[in-house]
Structure 1
Amino acid sequence: MQPATPVDSEPPRAAATVVLLRDAAAGPEVLLLRRHAKASNMAGVYVFPGGKLDADDATLNPAAHLDQPHAALHERLNEPDTDHPTAAGLYVAALREALEECGLLLAEPLGGDAPVDALRARAMLREGQPFAQVLAALQLRLQTRQLAPWSRWITPLAPTMGTRRFDTRFFVAQAPADQTARHDDEETTDSLWLAPRTALEQYRDGRIDLAPPQIMSLAHLARHASVASVLAAARSQRPPLILPEPFDHEGVRVICYPGDAMHPVRERALPGPTRLHYRDRRFTPEEGFDALFD
């Protein structure tokens, strides 16, 4: 077994993504967005809303724009080496990216009972107005309490998909019931609400493309019967750090995760298989598709 050859020695970019969920008759559904076919990274792949941390995300005034102080957000993120403003900025980045990419805004009015005008907020962002200015103009405060840290993924030095490396914090949240998600027709060109297992079945059948973090996250989510169950699980744990380890075995790319015999971290971080094999343009467990749910 040979380790994969590193292609990028630059530090990974800080990023945040939010797994937006809603309850349906058959159980929870998750929002997936298809990245533009001409995107420079992960073109055509279905992902959760998210993106890199912008410098302005860490500068929002918590008293004016956040429902929690920086210290509380830092504590929930459970990253001792991350400073308080950056920790808060990761929550802000997740919420801002959700607004930009799918039009959902987890926020509350500062006064009165006026509904949150997510459409207007998104339009203002598209016009180039800073997020803090948008929130101030619409008299809104971000609902960071709605975000529960779920996991932290760092792209390996030799990524199997894409060319950039990210240090991405995954949050889970219930989508606002009074807002409608829609892709932006710029960075994303399609949006789907699917049960986690259904999304994985469509990936298996070649109907959609997914990346390994989404595959493993969807397999994890498929074990829950409701959004409340997902949020309770997230809030009862410390977000695991997941640094996948790729290697090549007999001409096949393999990605292993904490708990695998080939991974330096012996303790499991995720349910399901500890490694995926890349064959026929699909990542699958060595034991077959159903091993994602064992």
Structure 2
Amino acid sequence: MELNTEIITTPPLDAATVILLRDSAEGLQVLLMRRHQASNVLGGAYVFPGGKLDADDHHPQLIARLSQSPVQLQQRLNEPELAPERAAALFMAAIREAFEESGVLLCQSAAGADAAHVSALQQALAQGQSWGAALQSLALQVQAEALVPWSRWITPRQASVTNKRFDTRFFVSHVPEDQIAQHDNHETTDSIWISPAAALGRYVAGEIELAPPQIMSLVHLKQHANAHSVLAEAMQRKPPVVQPEPFDDEGTRVICYPGDERHPVSERAFPGPSRLRFTDGRFEPEGGLARLLD
């Protein structure tokens, strides 16, 4: 992974990411997907499904297909300054991106959601139908309750791994047991269900690339034994706002997070290390990569 040294002057783009969860015999697992190497945002890195907010996500007919009102969704995001319609669009974007990138459909019709709906929606999109038109034609309702706000990450002006800024709302969601997640071979070229600890272990071993938001999210998630535990925490607290503060230390890029002595916010946003250093092409905490496995 290469370090970005540009100062980004444009405002951050709204985006949504979904941390898909499932339980296994080994405990909690999350879905990680490898972005296409040619992608101009985190190419080759393993990420959670997600992407930027599209203009169509705001369409009134599309918002009407959400199972909760824009006001309810604004309250769930806990962003009183955000327009309710914008909050609704972010929920819509999260569900759309989850489906487009992983095939997981967090929607249902009057008869419920099943494999036939997943196949029909995939076919409609492949034939050029828009996401909104496809939902309308299949009479699908978007299950906003399936998403629980987890955190909000805002890229600093001195970004470290991209030349774009994003204001990304992270959601957590339990994957329906009857659905199979898989990469689309377009935006993503590989997908793995893996425990947070095992994912960090693969990163430490140099087997996969991860960006700082994924690293810190996995460190947080490995505190949980199952999906219910993650969702229970998410529903009991406000989603923390994470605005990383980068600085240079003797020629080395360091990113600090809320709770660090160099960060303006004294209250921690999540467990684990409070800063990462960019060393030998990878981000690691003070004391070395093995600290991620503590």
TM-score by length of 1: 0.94
Does residue 39 of structure 1 match 2:39? Answer: yes
Superposition pairs for residues 1-150 of structure 1, below 5 Å?
Answer: 7-61=7-61, 64-109=64-109, 111-113=110-112, 115=114, 117-150=117-150
Distance 2:63 2:213 in 1: 34
Paired AA for residue 184 in structure 2: D
8 Å CA contact retained: 2:204, 2:290: no
Aligned to 2:260: 260
**Identity across the alignment (%):** 52
1:273 aligns with 2:273: yes
Supply the distance in 1 between the matched residues of 2:120 and 2:126 (Cα, whole angstroms).
10
Q: Give the Cα separation in 2 of the matches to 1:293 and 1:269.
A: 19
1:203 corresponds to: 203
Indicate yes or no: 2:217 matched with 1:217: yes
In the alignment, the residues of structure 2 paired with residue 64 and residue 57 of structure 1 have an alpha-carbon distance, to the nearest angstrom, of 11
Deviation at 1:63, TM superposition (A): 7.8
1:280: Cα distance to partner?
1.3
Offset, 1:62: 6.9
1:178 matched residue in structure 2: 178
**Counterpart Cα distance in 1 of 2:63 and 2:5:** 47
Residues 63, 274 of structure 1: alpha-carbon distance in 2 compared, 3 angstrom cutoff: closer
Structure 1 range deviating more: 123-132 or 19-28: 123-132
Whether the aligned pair in 2 keeps the contact of 1:203 and 1:210 (CA below 8 Å) is: yes
Check 1:62–1:71 CA distance in 2 against 1; reply closer, same or farther (3 A cut): farther
* Change over 3 Å in CA distance of 1:166–1:114 after alignment to 2: closer
Deviation at residue 121 of structure 1 after TM alignment: 1.0
C-alpha contact (below 8 Å) 1:121/1:134 kept by paired residues: yes
1:119-174 Cα deviation digits (max 9, x unpaired): 32123223332222111111210111010000000111111111111000000000
User: Separation in 1 of the partners of 2:122 and 2:62?
Assistant: 21
Deviations 1:237-278 (A, max 9, x none): 101100001111012111000111111111111111100111
Is the CA contact 1:62–1:70 (under 8 Å) kept in the aligned structure 2?
no
- Structure 1 ranges of 4+ moved more than 4 A: none
Equivalent position of 1:189 in the other structure: 189
Deviation of the 1:188 alpha carbon: 0.7
- Which secondary structure state, in structure 1, belongs to the residue aligned with residue 97 of structure 2? helix
Contact 1:15 1:53 in 2 (8 A): yes
Amino acid at match of 2:74: H
- Paired residue for 1:159? 159
RMSD, matched Cα:
1.6
2:96 maps to a residue whose letter is R
Contact 2:63 2:88 in 1 (8 A): no
Structure 1 residue 5: Cα displacement: 6.2
Which ranges in structure 1 are unaligned for 5 or more consecutive residues? none
Aligned residues: 290
